[in-house]
Amino acid sequence: MSTHPHIAIVGATGAVGREMLLCLEERNFPLSKLTLLASARSAGKTINFREEQLTVQELTSKSFDGIDIALFSAGGSIAEKFAPHAANANCLVIDNSSAFRLDPDVPLVVPEINREAAKHHPRNIIANPNCSTIITLMGLAPLHQAFTITGIIASTYQAVSGSGAQGIAELEQQTNALLNHSPIETSVYPHQILHNVIPHVDTFQESGYTKEEQKMLHEGRKILSLPDLKVTCTCVRVPVMRSHSISATAIFKNTPDLQTARKAITQSPGVELVDDPTSALYPTPLDTTGKDNCLVGRIRHDQVLENSLTLWIVGDQVRKGAALNAVQIAECLANPS
């Protein structure tokens, strides 16, 4: 891999694609060239990158010649169709969808947690985990290092950005409609999201859990290399623009203590402790919006389960939950250590 790779963004016009551009720019990513790809609808549009106007091109099976790394953020069906073309053209795919995440030949990577896994990618594809899973594990992995995790009980409070540009537009539309006394339209979500919470993210399965809820289980096991990890999760959509929050109870093999837990969080890259509840200091979604780091607070001994801590974790879904994590994986490839 070149130390100055030619990068492509597939889905460059979407909410995550645009954030990828920002992350590449802010982190001064050492790229030789950037190619922007999206649907035919967007071909010809221009997007600013490092004070240059780049023209969006239509994604085709021939788009990947000469490209070293393609950051995919255009959904599962586009990934399934086009990632194999990219891989055949010797272009390494970092895919944000769930299409390949559980494939044993596709590493699933959060660089702060399992950076080493990115080195072995026999299909030329690396998967970016689910956004809630990334943010939850950013808070729990340091505690796993300290006390060895065996189970997670979680409830998520997920922003509309998780549904892409359309989710953001729906919350904006409903807000404007309410202020203008015009009818509130619902299309992305099964219910009005404004002034509401909806315990339904992704499709329901026979078990009664949604696919999103099961991602925390299966992806958590893969990222932490813990095939026996137990997870139960309820995923909830809330009328927040772009940061996800998670209330998590983590159960450990060893007895946790608060001082070690706080130190573990403080010393971990990409995560910060904001935990002084008596001064009303705990993370909120607005605190992480547009920021790289995930925030952790409200750490306490769980009063129901033994050897357990309950905590509150917040992170920017578009950024660490998607775009930033993908760009960090690309950094691991361009600058392996």
CB-nearer residue toward ligand A2P: 58 or 116? 58
Residue 249 in contact with ligand A2P, rule: CB under 6 A: no
Cα distance between residue 82 and residue 61, in whole Å:
6
- Told to check if 142 binds ligand A2P by CB under 6 A, we report no
- Residue 187 tokens read as 């299309």
Among 8, 78, 113, 235, binds ligand A2P (CB under 6 A): 78
Q: Is 131 a catalytic residue?
A: yes
Q: Least CB distance from residue 166 to ligand A2P, whole Å?
A: 5
164 binds ligand A2P (CB under 6 A): yes
> Of residues 5, 8, 17, 106, which one binds ligand A2P by CB under 6 A?
17
Choosing from 121, 144, 218, 244, the catalytic residue is 244
- CA 101 centroid distance within chain: 13
CA 142 to chain centre: 18
Is residue 159 near ligand A2P by the rule CB under 6 A? no
- Smallest distance from ligand A2P to CB 17, Å: 5
Spatial separation of the C-alpha atoms in residues 49 and 176, rounded to whole Å: 31
114 binds ligand A2P (CB under 6 A): no
**How many of the chain's residues bind ligand A2P (CB under 6 A)?**
16
13 or 114: whose CB is closer to ligand A2P?
13
Residues 165-194 that bind ligand A2P (CB under 6 A): 165-166
Contacts of 182 (CB under 8 A, 6+ apart): 176
Which residue in 109, 134, 137 sits closest to 121, CA to CA?
109
Out of 23, 91, 131, 235, the active site residue is 131
In the complex, least distance from residue 170 CB atom to ligand A2P, rounded to whole angstroms: 11
Q: Tell me if 111 contacts ligand A2P by CB under 6 A.
A: no
Shortest distance (Å) from residue 272 CB to ligand A2P: 27
Residue with tokens 């689910």: 130
Minimum distance from CB of 252 to ligand A2P (Å)?
36
- Asked if 110 interacts with ligand A2P (CB under 6 A), we say no
> In the bound complex, what is the minimum distance in angstroms from residue 74's beta carbon to ligand A2P?
3
Q: Which amino acid is at 133?
A: T
- Looking at residue 117, its amino acid is A
Segment lying near ligand A2P (by CB under 6 A), choices 5-13, 224-232, 248-256, 284-292: 5-13
Tell whether residue 321 is a contact of ligand A2P (CB under 6 A): no
Please state, in angstroms and rounded to a whole number, the distance separating the CA atoms of residues 72 and 75.
Answer: 8
User: Could you identify the residue written with the tokens 């729990």?
Assistant: 140
The 8-class DSSP code of residue 40 comes to: G
Rounded Cα gap, residues 220 and 230, in angstroms = 9
Q: Has 244 been annotated as catalytic?
A: yes
Positions 24 through 63 that interact with ligand A2P (CB under 6 A) = 38-39, 41-42, 59
CA atoms within 13 A on the CB side of 13: 16
Q: Which of 337, 334, 335 is nearest to 5 (CA)?
A: 334
Round the CA-based radius of gyration of the chain to a whole number and report it.
20
Q: How many whole angstroms separate alpha carbon 137 and alpha carbon 165?
A: 25
CA 141 – CA 136 distance, rounded (Å): 9
Binding site for ligand A2P (CB under 6 A): 11-15, 17, 38-39, 41-42, 59, 74, 78, 164-166
Active site residues: 131, 244
